[in-house]
């Protein structure tokens, strides 16, 4: 039988994710705190619910993609979603939160007779639109198998282990992305300062060991000085703080990541929290301002 799906949280990512679920032919109900953001889904034959508890009443699989663990907790327990869900239904959290928080939700949901997956995503708004997100899933294998057709409508689901493992994998992803963006930004700054054309330098690097999706996509953003998110600085900073807290609990140190987090923190404090994460270049330019000639303005294009 085709499962009934509910999607809670129709934000920048959720809009496209829910659209792809509807396009795949799943009966879909959606809810968002600001209802106007959900109304566009009506053109894809989605039902627009007035409140989240109503939205999940008949759902077999409930997906959510919201800001942080507090928002997940509010939806589940303050707005009545956990109580309203059918026993045996699957709650699939696609937000990016701490593994420990996800494990605590799992314990609470299990006591209520519900099943649970943590399934954070990577790929940004473009991946959400194209249905090509990397979906990192933690939870029981049988639950994952049952939810896979719905997840596959949004991208490539891959089970990485028990509950919390999906969130841990997303943190690993953010370590790689953040450090890669920092290295890319520094290389573009060096190219310009040394008198080379940064665009030509990027083209020359393509196909070598530096080749990556970061070089391809984020490199283009940096060269265009296009700071429209994408993935905003505030979200990257939230994730990097979660990485460092998790690393501390694991008894390890991540010194490179700590330096990059500090740069993002300073960038956010200077008013760029809503810029794309590639705007880290602006912090490096600010740091090097006394030594540079012909500085570009911090703002770049409007976001």
Which residues are catalytically annotated? Answer: 170
CB-based contacts of 193-200 (< 8 A; 24+ apart in sequence): 193/288, 193/292, 198/222, 198/223, 199/223
Place of tokens 């703002």: 299
Angle between helices 198-205 and 165-193 (to 10 degrees): 130
Other residues' Cβ atoms within 10 Å of the Cβ of residue 67: 15
Say if CB 160 and CB 172 are below 8 A apart.
Answer: no
- Alpha-carbon distances of 219 from 184, 205, 206, rounded to whole Å: 7, 11, 11
Say how far apart CA 138 and CA 82 lie, in whole Å: 19
Say if CB 172 and CB 164 are below 8 A apart.
Answer: no
Spatial CA neighbour of 45 closest among 20, 27, 32: 27
Listed in sequence order, the residues at least 6 apart from 47 whose beta carbon sits closer than 8 Å to its beta carbon are 28, 29, 30
Say how far apart CA 182 and CA 163 lie, in whole Å: 31
């Amino acid at each position: 039988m085709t499962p009934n799906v509910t999607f809670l949280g129709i934000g920048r990512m959720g809009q496209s994710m829910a659209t792809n679920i509807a396009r795949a032919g799943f009966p879909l109900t959606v809810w968002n705190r600001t209802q106007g953001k959900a109304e566009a889904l009506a053109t894809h034959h989605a039902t627009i619910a007035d409140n989240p508890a109503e939205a999940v009443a008949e759902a077999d699989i409930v997906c959510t993609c919201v800001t942080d663990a507090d928002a997940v907790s509010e939806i589940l327990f303050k707005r009545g979603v956990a109580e309203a869900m059918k026993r045996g239904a699957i709650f699939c959290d696609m937000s990016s939160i701490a593994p420990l928080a996800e494990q605590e939700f799992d314990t609470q949901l299990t006591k209520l007779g519900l099943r649970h997956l943590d399934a954070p995503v990577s790929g940004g708004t473009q991946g959400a639109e194209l249905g090509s997100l990397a979906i990192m899933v933690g939870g029981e294998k049988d639950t994952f198998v049952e939810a896979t057709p719905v997840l596959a409508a949004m991208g490539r689901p891959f089970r990485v282990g028990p509950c919390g493992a999906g969130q841990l994998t997303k943190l690993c992803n953010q370590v790689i992305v953040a450090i890669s963006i920092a290295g890319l930004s520094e290389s573009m700054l060096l190219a310009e300062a040394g008198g080379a054309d940064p665009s030509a330098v990027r083209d020359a690097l393509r196909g070598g060991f530096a080749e990556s999706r970061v070089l391809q996509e984020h490199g283009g953003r940096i060269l265009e000085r296009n700071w429209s998110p994408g993935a905003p600085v505030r979200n990257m900073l939230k994730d990097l703080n979660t990485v460092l807290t998790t690393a501390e609990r694991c008894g390890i140190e991540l010194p490179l990541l700590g330096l990059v987090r500090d740069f993002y923190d300073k960038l956010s404090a200077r008013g760029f929290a809503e810029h794309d994460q590639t705007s880290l270049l602006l912090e490096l330019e600010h740091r090097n301002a006394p030594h540079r000639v012909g500085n570009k303005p911090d703002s770049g294009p409007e976001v």
